[in-house]
Structure 1
Amino acid sequence: MRGIAALTVALMHVSSSFVELPGRSVLDKAGLFAVQALSNGYGAVVAFFVISGFVLARSLDRNFDIVRFVIARVFRLYPAAIATVATFAAVHYCFGFSVYPKASFAPLNVLANMLMLRVDIDLVMWSMKAEVAATPLIILCAWLFRRYGMGTVIAVAVALFALAFVGQFAKSIGDDTNLAPIFAFPVGILVHFKGRDVAAKLTPAAVALCAVASVAVFCACAFFKPSGTWTLLVQCLSAATLVMLIAWRAEATTFAPLDLAVVRLYGRISYSFYLLHPLALWGANRLMVYSIAQFDSVPVTVIVIAAFVLSVVFITPLAWLSWRFVELPAMNRLRSVPASRGVLPLGALPGDQHVN
């Protein structure tokens, strides 16, 4: 699901300036409509947040070791981000090229981007900055659920959704990052703790229907303001439904394509792919502008899809190298870090007896 979400973001990057073109035939207009429906990149980021809440709640549920959890987040998020910013900086220093015109490659700003304090060099890293900011929230919600039950986590999610309407909150960690969809993390945590019970009550036909409906609603959100607060909520609930069904009803034939080797590949490299794909945008956009001007008989849909495929082909090897030689070594290094002493059970309060 992460891999598909990363490809959705990539399609949005490539197509956003061209799907609103009038189209050269009725079929071409229908094709551009389909491309727009499949390129809900902002919704895909919301799905990333739901998935993170779900996966990280599972991790904390197994072992509520806060120190090790925080170390794991550092090892998981920062190495690939640092390597990506270094790659962008190297391309700029060697060729004078920058994906974004307002990016600064002054040494201190490069360092700030590597630490995710700023994200002007690679704008997609705003979501990773939000993930870092959400780490205490995830720990709190996992603890609240085990100590006080589902109602407390629902209350946190509702409060964060209400705050999403407040601009000062949405931009509280910088104008380059939108915290409005941060309520998706508690929703993902709820899917971990309660999703199995809900999914178990569904018949196979209901599972298939819910999955198809969730995807349809998610795609429909592409035609509304993707960052609108109510749209964020709909996208969050659609993603949460899919995560719940994929996690707890994996036997459904609807999800068989997720086991394909190519889908699993993009699932593994999705983080690096997401970070690196903006490197392909300049070439993809130039290709589309040239092709649309020179080949007036070729449908715009074909040109957009071709540019998207070429961008994916270009970035995939780079993403695999980053996954293989940056992400994996960092995760393997984490396995050698000993657990901290005095792990606090999820149901315990500070001051209660610790369990070693």
Structure 2
Amino acid sequence: MDARRPSIGHAGGRGRGQNDLNAQERSQPAGRGEVRIDIVDVLRGIAASAVVVQHVAESSGLPGLWYLLELAPGVFGVVLFFLISGFVIPLSVRGVSDWRAYALRRVFRIYPLTLFAFALLAALMLLGALPPADAPWYVWLANLLLLQDFVRVPALLGVTWTLPIEFAWYTLFGLSFFLLGRRGLRLLSLAYPIGMVGLIALSLLLEIRLPFGRIGMLYAALIGMQCFRFAGGEIGRREILVSCGVFVGLMMVANWVAFGHFSHPNIKLHHALMPWALASLLFFVALFRIKLASPPSWIGQGLLFLGRISFSVYLLHPIVMGLVHPFAEGLAFIVAVCGLTLPLAWLSFTYIEKPGIEMGRALVRRRRTVAA
């Protein structure tokens, strides 16, 4: 593996993002700065598996799986996804000349597969393979723009609720980095926990329940970014330990406020506290390389494969569940969903997701050529 110190900058000040980009390309000796993409893919595989487990356990009709649902694996998987997203997003600015190129690549990372998922959903509804949504055009438009939660229309593909949060993270990171460089990321890492404290206090004082789960997903991405900065030698051990400790403490309090002090119709307090704690622990253990027994190679290879197709697995497994549900239940339902989701996800990754990513890169290269 290529050993680099993935520092995202040495220059501070407004408009210094390009200087940071130049600095980060320099190869450094192996050590704390080595970027372990394999472990990131393994974590993605675990996260995708956890989300699928949540949904198939809920829909299988097997009463013996209640204990899995009490662990809230879906929440665990989503939190882990956002921790990973924060860790890898600094890598996305390598070779990117400005914020427009960054935005273009981010859009082409998410939207080609998202549009394919909605197109597949619509086609299956038209063919009668899935129940029709009976939704007017503006509901489809809001869902395609990922605005369904903001304009209060039904979600046609429920798992897309996380994508607006992902784009919000891309925006926060991009604004901080391209306006202020490394100093902007430091300010963001200080301002967000302070803002969390303020929101927690406001929620308690005004007796208003705030969506701390979603707000916390952005915080998780921020902590992932901090872990990347630590891995690159940009911040020290003391700062990362303080950042992680404050994150865990604040999210425990925020979840208590959202699901303990207030209530949620579907999520109890332990459904929030336990998966947030476990996802954070797994992420920190994996990236700080605390020595654990290595899993058998076939498990590791399986998780690597799942990690590489994880976005396709995440978006497409609910569609497969809808197809299978009329024909199977119980264990047969679980086996059929997993058996169909994996090849479909591999095909969509190979022929939709990867070409979409490459299209974004090609457009960035074309912009650079025209500008030159």
Relative to the length of structure 1, the TM-score reads 0.66
Displacement of 1:106 in angstroms is 3.3
Judging changes above 3 Å, is the alpha-carbon distance between structure 1 residues 323 and 38 closer, same or farther for their aligned structure 2 residues?
farther
The answer to whether structure 1 residue 7 and structure 2 residue 49 are counterparts is yes
Query: In structure 1, which of residues 20, 36, 39 is the aligned counterpart of residue 69 of structure 2?
Result: 36
The answer to whether structure 1 residue 249 and structure 2 residue 289 are counterparts is yes
Displacement of 1:330 in angstroms is 1.1
Judging changes above 3 Å, is the alpha-carbon distance between structure 1 residues 314 and 71 closer, same or farther for their aligned structure 2 residues?
same
What is the CA–CA distance in structure 2 between the aligned matches of 1:187 and 1:145, rounded to whole Å? Answer: 17
Query: In structure 1, which of residues 114, 137, 142 is the aligned counterpart of residue 144 of structure 2?
Result: 114
What is the CA–CA distance in structure 2 between the aligned matches of 1:48 and 1:10, rounded to whole Å? Answer: 13
The answer to whether structure 1 residue 146 and structure 2 residue 182 are counterparts is yes
Does the CA contact (< 8 Å) of 1:2 and 1:48 recur in 2? yes
Displacement of 1:58 in angstroms is 3.4
What is the CA–CA distance in structure 1 between the aligned matches of 2:76 and 2:344, rounded to whole Å? Answer: 25
What is the CA–CA distance in structure 1 between the aligned matches of 2:227 and 2:273, rounded to whole Å? Answer: 15
What does residue 156 of structure 1 align with? 192
Displacement of 1:239 in angstroms is 3.0
Q: Please provide the CA RMSD for this pair.
A: 4.2
What does residue 190 of structure 1 align with? 226
**Residue pairs, 1:326-337, within 5 angstroms:** 326-337=352-363
Judging changes above 3 Å, is the alpha-carbon distance between structure 1 residues 170 and 51 closer, same or farther for their aligned structure 2 residues?
same
What is the CA–CA distance in structure 2 between the aligned matches of 1:236 and 1:195, rounded to whole Å? Answer: 22
The answer to whether structure 1 residue 71 and structure 2 residue 104 are counterparts is yes
Secondary structure of the residue that 2:156 maps to in structure 1? coil
Displacement of 1:190 in angstroms is 1.3
Does the CA contact (< 8 Å) of 1:82 and 1:115 recur in 2? no
Secondary structure of the residue that 2:127 maps to in structure 1? helix
What is the CA–CA distance in structure 1 between the aligned matches of 2:55 and 2:158, rounded to whole Å? Answer: 11
Unaligned runs of 5+ in 2: 1-42, 149-153, 238-251
What is the CA–CA distance in structure 2 between the aligned matches of 1:20 and 1:149, rounded to whole Å? Answer: 47
Query: In structure 2, which of residues 306, 312, 320 is the aligned counterpart of residue 272 of structure 1?
Result: 312
What does residue 338 of structure 2 align with? 312
What does residue 127 of structure 1 align with? 162
Q: What number of residue pairs does the alignment pair up?
A: 292
The answer to whether structure 1 residue 137 and structure 2 residue 172 are counterparts is yes
The answer to whether structure 1 residue 170 and structure 2 residue 196 are counterparts is no
Does the CA contact (< 8 Å) of 2:80 and 2:280 recur in 1? yes
What is the CA–CA distance in structure 1 between the aligned matches of 2:95 and 2:287, rounded to whole Å? Answer: 16
Does the CA contact (< 8 Å) of 2:47 and 2:81 recur in 1? yes
Secondary structure of the residue that 2:155 maps to in structure 1? coil
What does residue 118 of structure 2 align with? 85
Unaligned runs of 5+ in 1: 24-30, 172-176, 202-216, 290-302, 342-355
Secondary structure of the residue that 1:116 maps to in structure 2? coil
